[in-house]
Amino acid sequence: MSTNKQKEMEKLITSIIKQELYQEINSSLFWSIIIDETTFIFNEKHLAIVSKYFLHNILILRYIRLIELEDRTPDITYITHN
């Protein structure tokens, strides 16, 4: 399989997973987003983003994204979503 086809498949699969996640969160009466900063080896800082919600009376925690922080100051005003 060519690299372009692999990337296209990855985008399609990612899109489907995102749609399902958004539908689950939207159907939940209670939900929250958890954002936690963590420092890895070699002083790399990241934001971990997790969603927490109830679906059919079951508590679900879902990983959303891990974002590397290039600006390591407390003055971060926004995060670009790609």
59 domain residue, yes or no: yes
Q: Which percentage of the chain shows pLDDT scores above 70?
A: 85
Instruction: Report how many domains make up the chain.
Output: 1
pTM for this one?
0.65
Report the distance separating Cα 6 and Cα 12, nearest Å.
Answer: 10
Report the distance separating Cα 81 and Cα 15, nearest Å.
Answer: 14
33 domain residue, yes or no: yes
75 domain residue, yes or no: no
**Band (19; pLDDT cuts 50, 70, 90):** very high
Domain that holds residue 28: 3-68
Q: What's the mean pLDDT in 11-40?
A: 91
The 8-class DSSP code of residue 42 comes to: G
**Band (52; pLDDT cuts 50, 70, 90):** very high
